[in-house]
């Protein structure tokens, strides 16, 4: 199979339900909650998988998949090593974009805004909810740093596993949460003939959300 030709000819029709701006929630977080519930009901794999795009102080972009671990009127939360590439870039340039895509529902949510650190207590609370092996991994991995071999990583994991034998694993100072504070949220619903529904929420200067429809 010629992969290049194959992807050029690859087609499928979208058949999602209509998305009507007169019938959606007035707040994007409420609308997001409704859509996430639909994704859970549809058994979408990893419905909390979220692509987060960051840029350094010079505007060089990078993107990766993280796991959404909470959302509220204040924004969308995820956790990472602050020394990682995304962590370092966020600390240099707080503007980010994020995307969640639910293939089974032909739906996509796009978020743009700024990022703030979660409080130490919020990060501690989430860290203690993680499986013990994941807690130890946060100590063993200097995320995004260069390592010589896989064996080096395994050895560091074993060292910290021994260090914390028979005691709780504390949260490393370099590990914690970020919250994306949205300034715009777009809901995309795939529709037949590529005439997709796109509804955009934009935060205005008064702190209210304005809603408009975008051409597909």
Choice among 85, 194, 198, 213 that is catalytic: 194
180 close to 98: Cβ distance less than 8 angstroms: yes
Beta bridge partners of 101: 108
Residue by residue, DSSP assigns 85-97 as HHHHHHHH--EEE
Closest CA to 107 of 184, 174, 15: 15
Q: Both tokens of residue 106?
A: 């032909």
Alpha-carbon distance of 180 to 75, in angstroms, equals 5
CB neighbour class for 4 (10 Å; exposed up to 12, middle 13-18, buried from 19): exposed
Is 194 a residue of the active site?
Answer: yes
Active-site positions? 194
């Amino acid at each position: 199979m010629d992969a290049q030709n194959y992807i050029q000819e690859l087609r499928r029709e979208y058949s999602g339900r209509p998305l009507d701006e007169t019938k959606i929630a007035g707040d994007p977080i409420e609308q997001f909650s409704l859509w996430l519930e639909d994704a859970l009901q549809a058994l979408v794999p990893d419905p909390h998988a979220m692509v987060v795009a960051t840029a350094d102080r010079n505007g060089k972009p990078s993107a990766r998949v993280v796991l959404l671990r909470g959302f509220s009127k204040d924004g969308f939360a995820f956790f990472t090593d602050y020394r990682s590439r995304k962590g370092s870039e966020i600390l240099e340039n707080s503007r980010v974009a994020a995307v969640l895509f639910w293939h089974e529902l032909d739906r996509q949510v796009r978020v743009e805004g700024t990022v703030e650190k979660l409080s130490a207590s919020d990060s501690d609370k989430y860290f203690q909810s993680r499986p013990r092996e994941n807690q130890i991994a946060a100590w063993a991995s200097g995320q995004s740093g260069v390592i010589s071999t896989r064996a080096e990583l395994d050895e560091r994991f074993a060292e910290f596993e021994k260090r914390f034998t028979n005691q709780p694993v504390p949260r490393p100072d370099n590990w914690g949460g970020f919250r994306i504070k949205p300034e715009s949220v777009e809901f995309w619903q795939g529709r037949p003939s590529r005439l997709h529904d796109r509804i955009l929420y934009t935060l205005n200067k008064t702190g209210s959300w304005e809603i408009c429809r975008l051409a597909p």
